[in-house]
Structure 1
């Protein structure tokens, strides 16, 4: 039944369809269907869709920006370099918009927006002064008039005799940053150096691989400008920060790891196949299984998810080491049979074991579907589909493709393998070895500690982090994505709520809970506040107008004739002043009940007491504290606990399957190696000082599934099959373990801590599972000696 040509033809047709689909997927789009955005790994907040939309909006706004600082001890050198650098940036085709020099229109934008509404705009200090001591404002004007550096003009005095707008605009622009204008550039000083600020918007997503490929040209331009303007006594430095630099590093790192893991595994497999089989046919068949598995996995994943995440591919590359297992068992049987080989009987001999092995491995892989992370779900399906395709290739094609017997030759390493089997026949070894390993593993488990921080998913190079910290210190610009989401039923109600929240945050700053924040309320007063300000200014003119006219000997007395016209959010958003701030206004968004809520965010910088911010949001249903990293880290912890129970359930399910076929006692012997291997994997990972997380538990599921695979083949040995069959089985399992170690073990080389930790756990677990697998065998007859 296994040689059915129709089955082989059907699988051929499926593979041809998959190859055609792969070609379409790779050529139908301008870009490869590969996702590099780390945020794509994370689950959406389905409980609060407004919070999810807010985070996505802010993350996109921030990720598409790049900040440069050009610095030198010499101010003139800095300005010349900044000018050359900013003029050369457009040639890179990397940015859609570059903000370097501030135009005259931009410089006047603040006044154009706020000046017509000047009679209703006051700082908190001005409000207190006009309310309690309005005569102080008159005195302030007199003091400024006698100051030769005040720069007061007759026109300004005529239009704003109490100089209220001058004070307000100075306070407002101070909130926008600590920069001053020099030759059109925003400049500042820091630690004895002069710096110019240049910002740019990317011409696409920071995760666009095409844009990332242009970064070497950017670095070359920076080095060229630095070299040109660095003097003997002063070096010019250009520093940059932005999500694209981290994303490019992550992409490059993932590509390198895929190459290391995938090509390393492939090279190891080729060497093993040539060393053991000394024939090109086994090599071709093994590569065929791997190729079919990877093609099926890639095509199906793209069809289901639209893209394959690089994170999934890093893990998926290790599929090579698992998908080859079935081929090894078949080819090793062929090698041992020599001229007596029957391809149909060969498949029948291993069919039960590889089928049960596939089922137990799928239990392990598909267990990852319980985690709400798209990346893990991709990995789960990628591996499960790839493994199934590799299995189908062996079952459908190998009996035909490997029908010819192998050239007669002795089983490689038969002497060593035979001695190893003999050792495992000794009762002392069968009892002492697993007990000793279990005790050592239990000791290691006492040293275990967990770290569920989502940041472990991303390797952050120290050089980029240092540049980001330096730019933050120089400019005050922060990429923090900690924020308060503010919601209300109307636009005006939202502005009122923002204002009251700002007042609360001011108090928290005084308490030391927060360093600073950025809010639209700092730029747009509420309607009630504007009316109150207007009344205060009107009262000031009425009470102090005559006095001011008398002291200044004005020909025309100071009078108040303005009418109230509110400054609205529409006015603000239409002005170029709001360009760097618009992303904080979200407008009307629908909540989980479909009700529209006007929403905005307040950015929080350098939170010192996070519990205080969390408490503020918990006691107000119009506020939501958004901290995506902490939110996902918390989910990591929760699902780590869930996966623990899943692991227990999977172990019990597999044991029931084994006990049903092999009996209760044999079932224990078969599952014990995987349990001890899992404990040992966790123990060794802990003893290396690597914190444990969700991925280590997922590693245990894989160890369970793969380790059971090894035990199954020993369990399928019958005493009457003889010593030689035991050697053949041990050879196949050893080859399988070596390729799995090559695949998963190489993950321990990853720069990403979560992947590194996963790799160590699987590497250790698979070695222990292989070591203890002979526990599952019954007595194997030793070869008879004939005199």
Structure 2
């Protein structure tokens, strides 16, 4: 036996070492894409792409406030140049066009492939006459200064056509050569990080670079830097979750340590022993999730702090219940015979509840399930194999346990007398839940700890930049890039009609930056040869403002364009067009198709989503994605799926209990106590107006997991009394009652701290579990009464 114990301890040490290494190397994330479906629909796939790698996830919104207008403009120009030179950003826009001279030359050189005005009709004699007249009519307007230098090379005005085609529907206000807010009180910049939205380390480095480059400027002391965007939210959320988890773990640890020291007479050895299952469980949970998913979500990590609540219970049960004669090991042997079967059954019931989450179609929920299963199993096995080896006689000394046990014994008799009023309270809670509107609502955003002040700043900066969140996105899909561009052109033709009808202010499309190869070929084919073009020009310029011989440069430009190769994505490298194009294109890979995004500007009129969907009803390769609607729908599906899985978990739990107990009456008493506690907590939260979401449901699972252990121990007391054949009533096991009370206090304290958290997900868990497990203990004492309570010794 001694050799087996040593082997168990050595294997445990090896496991802890490996798990600690995995934990140290684990990548922690905080983006909400983990709570999106693993097998999404076409619309959900579009949203998932945008959250993980789309332009919306990579935008950094920057504001510069304070100082005077000249200082803000100078700082904006310097910051823009510094960020462009850093290589950490694909694009930086602030109204400074000095860096786009090469881009202008590129566009001018390829205007006949890129301009939407080029077609066969454009280069007929009549088409040329109309185009030349239209261009020369601009000479007397503010645009004349742009037209005049290139008039003889571009008399048809293709350069202006391209500019009009590529300009955003809503451009920021410009002042002093930089973009400014609507009231002119701050300079604004818009940057796109090179790192994907899901790469939080890359996002954090990019944001740190923004702050560092700003701090290096001479005008920085007089100005205030404002930064927002999806990456900023994700990085801040990760930092907040990490800080909050550390604070909660520290506060909870201090309180639990204090309670354990009081209960075990100040024994540091016993304290260290009691914490072994906790630390093992947390390491096992993180390692299992990291190996299975490749990362650990911050919410899962926060959930890990709740494992203290149940994992420390196992140690408390053993250390108190295994008290025996010193150096005999009799306490461990007795506990393995009497206490371990009950703890093992409680473990199985807990695993049944959380194992159901493993089959979730949402990776975030599956992470919570795997963390719980691995963590609880690790904590329970550590108690069974390690604690029985290192502390075979349980915990020495009595501390406050004797008084705690006696107090619980007295309270148990009073609670049994209140059994019917408590049952009536549970029935009233069930009636209230049936009568009230369903409290199960909320949305995916409720999982984010981003504060209202940050959301308001983000909305303000987006309004200044004309980059308001797109409520609806039109997405096109195809097998390759050329197919996506053709689909985007077809979808753009439908959107043009809505723009003409005033239902849309405009839209951005990848095909406006780089037309499809087929369209480029058609435009090139529309260009006449030199002889034919000269003949048509002679007809077009008769009695016109420009004589045809003066347009010889134009003829040479067209002939050169006839021999130009078609443009591809590679041709855009080195220009800001590459970043703009990539922002609207998601490359395919494997079974995932290529996708192009057409972002809409709805203008002053509300967008008619039904009319938009009707416009694309006959185009299956086009999806109209209502982002807010999809998020609500996914959260509803998420919550429904979690509810179904929790129901199956509860059914499995009941079956496990029934197989083990072999008594419907015993099963009913246990289910009655745990179920009544859950009903009362949920009804109280509903009456308080709390919107219940997915983490409240997970909290219920945790309440059942912990509370069922209390019920099982009270059922054990009842079974022992029923089996007692000695004279008089069987004495109450005060050590067992003390262990239940101490376990309940430590767990409830941990979850009460969570309820005070500023992170909604952790707060939701605490709101449910803290009162839930206290009620489970009280109602277990009331609903599983002993037949004849012995007098407390």
Question: Residue by residue, what CA displacement relative to the aligned partner does 1:338-383 show, whole Å, maximum 9, x if unpaired?
Answer: 9997332133221221111111111122122132222222222222
Q: Does 1:34 align with 2:28?
A: yes
Residue 623 of structure 2 aligns to a residue in which SS?
Answer: strand
Question: Residue by residue, what CA displacement relative to the aligned partner does 1:392-438 show, whole Å, maximum 9, x if unpaired?
Answer: 22222333433447346771234532321221343xx2222122233
Match of 2:597 among 595, 601, 619: 601
Give the aligned partner of residue 263 of structure 2: 276
Q: Which runs of 5+ in 1 are unaligned?
A: 231-235
Residue 274 of structure 1, CA deviation:
2.0
Query: For structure 1, which segment, 696-705 or 353-362, has the greater mean C-alpha deviation from structure 2 after superposition?
Result: 696-705
Question: Residue by residue, what CA displacement relative to the aligned partner does 1:615-636 show, whole Å, maximum 9, x if unpaired?
Answer: 5566421113456775464344
Q: 1:641 to 1:121 in 2, by over 3 A?
A: closer
Whole-angstrom CA distance in 1 between matches of 2:139 and 2:89: 47
Q: Does 1:697 align with 2:684?
A: no
Whole-angstrom CA distance in 2 between matches of 1:106 and 1:75: 24
Q: Does 1:460 align with 2:450?
A: yes
Whole-angstrom CA distance in 1 between matches of 2:88 and 2:136: 53
Q: 1:630 to 1:763 in 2, by over 3 A?
A: farther
Residue 187 of structure 2 aligns to a residue in which SS?
Answer: strand
Q: Check the 8 A contact 1:254/1:310 in 2, yes or no.
A: yes
Q: Check the 8 A contact 1:618/1:624 in 2, yes or no.
A: no
Residue 306 of structure 1, CA deviation:
2.9
Give the aligned partner of residue 504 of structure 1: 494
Residue 453 of structure 1, CA deviation:
2.0
Whole-angstrom CA distance in 2 between matches of 1:96 and 1:145: 36
Give the aligned partner of residue 321 of structure 1: 309
Give the aligned partner of residue 249 of structure 2: 262
Q: Does 1:20 align with 2:8?
A: no
Query: For structure 1, which segment, 668-677 or 104-113, has the greater mean C-alpha deviation from structure 2 after superposition?
Result: 104-113
Alignment of 1:152-551 (within 5 A): 156-162=150-156, 164-175=157-168, 178=171, 186-188=178-180, 190-193=182-185, 195=187, 197=189, 199=191, 201=193, 207-209=199-201, 212=204, 219=211, 222=214, 228=220, 230=222, 236-280=223-267, 281-334=269-322, 342-404=331-393, 406-407=396-397, 411-426=402-417, 429-444=418-433, 446-451=436-441, 453-478=443-468, 480=470, 483-488=473-478, 494-509=484-499, 514-525=504-515, 527=518, 531=522, 545-546=538-539, 548=541, 550-551=543-544
Whole-angstrom CA distance in 2 between matches of 1:434 and 1:131: 93
Q: Check the 8 A contact 1:97/1:200 in 2, yes or no.
A: yes
Whole-angstrom CA distance in 1 between matches of 2:732 and 2:85: 69
Residue 773 of structure 1, CA deviation:
0.7
Q: Check the 8 A contact 2:349/2:653 in 1, yes or no.
A: yes
Residue 650 of structure 1, CA deviation:
3.4
Whole-angstrom CA distance in 1 between matches of 2:365 and 2:445: 16
Q: Which runs of 5+ in 2 are unaligned?
A: none
Whole-angstrom CA distance in 2 between matches of 1:153 and 1:61: 34
Question: Residue by residue, what CA displacement relative to the aligned partner does 1:173-220 show, whole Å, maximum 9, x if unpaired?
Answer: 53386369888x643562244635363635786744486378578557
Question: Residue by residue, what CA displacement relative to the aligned partner does 1:130-157 show, whole Å, maximum 9, x if unpaired?
Answer: 9999765554455444569823777633
Query: For structure 1, which segment, 404-413 or 361-370, has the greater mean C-alpha deviation from structure 2 after superposition?
Result: 404-413
Whole-angstrom CA distance in 1 between matches of 2:771 and 2:614: 44
The TM-score normalised by the length of structure 2 is: 0.83
Residue 760 of structure 1, CA deviation:
1.5
Give the aligned partner of residue 768 of structure 1: 775
Give the aligned partner of residue 624 of structure 1: 623
Query: For structure 1, which segment, 212-221 or 413-422, has the greater mean C-alpha deviation from structure 2 after superposition?
Result: 212-221
Whole-angstrom CA distance in 2 between matches of 1:369 and 1:753: 23
Aligned residues: 767
Whole-angstrom CA distance in 1 between matches of 2:125 and 2:515: 17
Query: For structure 1, which segment, 129-138 or 78-87, has the greater mean C-alpha deviation from structure 2 after superposition?
Result: 129-138
Q: Check the 8 A contact 1:448/1:683 in 2, yes or no.
A: no
The TM-score normalised by the length of structure 1 is: 0.84
Whole-angstrom CA distance in 1 between matches of 2:608 and 2:709: 51
Q: 1:261 to 1:724 in 2, by over 3 A?
A: farther
Q: Check the 8 A contact 1:516/1:604 in 2, yes or no.
A: yes
Q: Does 1:778 align with 2:786?
A: yes
Whole-angstrom CA distance in 2 between matches of 1:264 and 1:497: 57
Q: 1:383 to 1:135 in 2, by over 3 A?
A: same
Question: Residue by residue, what CA displacement relative to the aligned partner does 1:541-587 show, whole Å, maximum 9, x if unpaired?
Answer: 86775564644364826577434457544476346142232215658
Whole-angstrom CA distance in 1 between matches of 2:68 and 2:792: 91
Give the aligned partner of residue 683 of structure 2: 683
Q: Check the 8 A contact 1:297/1:386 in 2, yes or no.
A: yes
Whole-angstrom CA distance in 2 between matches of 1:439 and 1:621: 52
Residue 282 of structure 1, CA deviation:
3.1
Whole-angstrom CA distance in 2 between matches of 1:634 and 1:715: 43
Question: Residue by residue, what CA displacement relative to the aligned partner does 1:62-92 show, whole Å, maximum 9, x if unpaired?
Answer: 4344232435785432222224445666999
Residue 556 of structure 1 aligns to a residue in which SS?
Answer: helix
Match of 1:556 among 549, 552, 556: 549
Give the aligned partner of residue 647 of structure 1: 646
Whole-angstrom CA distance in 2 between matches of 1:432 and 1:547: 98
Q: Does 1:583 align with 2:582?
A: yes
Q: Check the 8 A contact 1:335/1:411 in 2, yes or no.
A: no
Give the aligned partner of residue 233 of structure 1: none
Give the aligned partner of residue 756 of structure 2: 749
Query: For structure 1, which segment, 766-775 or 400-409, has the greater mean C-alpha deviation from structure 2 after superposition?
Result: 400-409
Taking only aligned residues, the RMSD between alpha carbons, in angstroms, comes to 4.3
